[in-house]
Amino acid sequence: MISGKVIDAQTGEGIPFASVYFKNSRIATTTNFDGNYTLKVIPPSDSLTVSYIGYFTRSKFVSKASVQTINFQLQSSTQELAEVVVLAGENPAFAVMRKVVDRKEANNKEKLSSYNYETYNKIELDVDNITDAFKKKSLIKPITSILDSIKLIAGEEGQPVLPVFISESLSDFYYLKNPKKTKENIKASKVTGIGLEDGSLVTQLIGSTFQEYNFYDNWMRLLGKEFISPIADGWKLYYDYDLEDSLHIGGTYCYKLKVIPRRPQDLAFNGYIWIDKSSYALKQVDLNISKSANLNYIEKVKIQQELQPTEAGPWIPVKTRLLVKIMSVGKHRPGMLAKIYTSNKDVKVNLPLTPEFFTERVEVAEKALKHNEEFWNKSRHDSLSATEQHVIAMIDSVKEIPSVKTYVEIANIIINGYKNVGKINLGPYPYLWAFNNIEGHRFQLGFKTNSDFSRRVLLGGYGAYGTRDGRFKYKISGRFILSRKRWSEIGISDKFDLGQVGINTDNVTNNTLFLASSRFGKLKRPYHQHESALWVQRELFKGFTEKVTFRQRSFDPLFPFFYIAETNENGAVLKDRFSTSELIFETRYANNEIFLQTDNDRVSLGNKGWPVFKIRYVLGLKNTLGSDLSYQRLDGSVKQKIPLGIFGSGTYELEVGKIFSQVPYPLLEVHLGNETPFYNKSAFTLMNYFEFASDTYANLQYDQHFEGFGLNSIPLIRKLKWRLVATGNLLYGHISNENLALLPETGPAGQELGGFNQFVKGTPYAEVGYGFENIFRFIRLQAFHRLTYRNNPDANNFGVKLSAQFRL
């Protein structure tokens, strides 16, 4: 008997479905999903050969021993699947594909009213392309001894890699068809990584929820992109097929089909699929993404999957392996390798499950991170190989090296903006320094507590000083987490700082880089503001969050500003400052949203294309804590990302609002313009600063990313991997006569006071943009046209805007 394993020499991963045979004989077999094979025969020759598409064929010597182990490491070739040549008559693969598509609904696991299974996930991240030149880098020198002493993880003929992360998780996964919901209970998790801090967050990320790949969907989301499935309803538009073989796989008789994208630049797969002959269900897939596909920074993507039928008929994946290789930047620079393995077992179908059971999408057991090695040895679906055990030991050694700790800390500061100092984090670094005409040199240092300080109480704040104005600014805040089950918290803050009318608004307060850059140069309509707030927030039910805030603000302008506070027998009474006290009610609803809970916060990972609704009501309370104004304001918005298949994806956001009372213009909706050469999606691109304000408004913004659509068909352009992008902004606004009446023509001493242009009834502000993104892999360049209000003073009717972005 001859047995062994066939692996990829670069990644160390098993190669499933490879052909193992003796030349000039009919004795042959194929490797299983993990790359293992067995031949129970007497060797008819002294040479055993392994071949697989995309790899160089290898042969090895076979001895006369009755039992022997022969392992193979195959080197990847640059060969991609060739074009299919179809002769006269119908391609026989098409007949198979028609039956596959006809029976998709019957074979799709989502036909089941419910199902659940135990799932095991294993993820490994490695640094590869470790050359001799790379080892000489100052960053790597401290770990050279470890690199020199390790075995080649891929095998005796493979390439060395440096593991930086490995994880395992064991979960129970549940699915309900109507209403469509999923839930994952993570029972156990084991995480080892360099620079890893929040193990609870990573535990949620490595579960089965984020490793779901269903080829029965027409479009499959992978790497944040939509890829067309090889068994999509419109399969003929995207793929060519070749029926190569019929063979037995694990007791199932299957058709083996070669799959080739019609356009190499499309987000499509190439490789093989195996179709069960009796049910026309997917039995196995072994697919790659073409190197020519319109993707950035990715050198290789390979996905393999094995499916088995359930007792009710539909097929469920039992094993999935995904490999992603991130390209090296330069011949002697390292790249990254991600290897993800998922195994499902103990499948149960059509059990009675209620929607209430699915309240939380991802739950982590309290003791998930506390299981010992004995538990894992019993619970793993597949035991760790000697290589994987070596990986864990190696990561533990590398992360204890002082220089590695230093570089990891620097990387965390760059990514998160804070430096960890015991129980507090200092930062964020974008705010450390600025220079403007009011403050001169502005220096700022902030902090926030971390989970080592408390898992309930979170404190934060900053102090800032301007060398020109000599004023000290500050913010201090505190939050108390009442519940993590349905996220609830109470908070308080107090702040004194510099702001700008129309920029420091509620809709951009979380845009750190934008607000940091707005502190440079000549500030437009600056003012000092003292703001105190107290709020309480609770998730009333899944996806529905309510927040109530009491806020007190003062407005102290540093530019000529007056408003008519009242009118008496002596005429208009002008005031140049005001204070407000407000009650703010905010409601947010996002159906099917996935949240990951960190140690002291939670992060949204989106809601799979459902719209997100927000409603905000503000009530101004006159004569409360010195407030000068009584008013009401109501705003609402809906935002949604829409996958459009071959046309890419679009995102729209509709905002409406109305102020029901008289207020000074800094409290109006001052629409954000953009006079810089850089594109900012939060601003109206060709609108000047403070050009328009309104007390009643409706705004629709749309952004369309065409991915490779259109340009993939142009021979020269498609090699550049440029992508079309289009933008449209539409704004209707209005200022009531009552609010216009609050604006005096001049100040008490005849000062000129800046005003606003008014909207013409029935004429919205409109602009459109079009251009290219992915220039040099990160530049977005767009031309914009202003369609209305082209005759306004200093109107910009055409402009070209530039921005940097990193998209796969």
Query: Which domains are assigned to the chain?
Result: 2-74 (2.60.40.1120), 119-213+330-416 (no CATH), 645-808 (no CATH)
How would you label 268-307 residue by residue, b for 16+ Cβ within 10 Å and e otherwise?
bbbbbbbbbbebbbbbbbbbbbbebbbbeebbbbbbbbbb
Q: What is the pLDDT of residue 45?
A: 79
In sequence order, the 6+-apart residues with CB closer than 8 A to the CB of 227 are: 219, 220, 221, 267, 268, 269, 289
Alpha-carbon span 5 to 425, nearest angstrom:
48
Q: What is the pLDDT of residue 210?
A: 66
Residue 379, H or E segment: helix 373-379
Which 8-state DSSP code applies to residue 69? E
Q: What is the pLDDT of residue 404?
A: 60
Q: Where would I find the H helices in 222-372?
A: 235-238
For the chain, what is the largest distance between any 2 Cα atoms, rounded to a whole number of angstroms? 117
Q: What is the pLDDT of residue 751?
A: 77
Q: What parts of the chain have a pLDDT lower than 70?
A: 78-89, 130-160, 194-210, 328-333, 386-387, 394, 396-416, 504-515, 596-599, 754, 808
Instruction: Tell me the sheet residues that pair with 374.
Output: none
Collapsing DSSP to helix, strand or coil, 159 comes out as coil
Which 8-state DSSP code applies to residue 139? T
The single-letter code of the amino acid at 728 is G
Beta strands in 196-238 (DSSP E): 219-222, 225-228
How many CB atoms lie under 10 A from the CB of residue 783?
13
- Sort residue 503 into left (φ over 0), alpha (ψ -120 to 50) or beta: alpha
Residue 201, H or E segment: helix 199-205
| Backbone dihedral angles phi then psi of residue 17, each to the nearest 5 degrees | 65, 20
- Sort residue 777 into left (φ over 0), alpha (ψ -120 to 50) or beta: left
Q: What is the pLDDT of residue 156?
A: 47
Instruction: Tell me the HSE value of 118 on the side-chain side, using a 13 A CA sphere.
Output: 9
Q: What is the pLDDT of residue 151?
A: 47
How many CB atoms lie under 10 A from the CB of residue 102?
10
β-pairing, 631-643 vs 649-659, is antiparallel
Q: What is the pLDDT of residue 136?
A: 66
Alpha-carbon span 496 to 426, nearest angstrom:
20
Taking only Cα atoms into account, the Rg of the chain, rounded to an integer number of angstroms, comes to 31
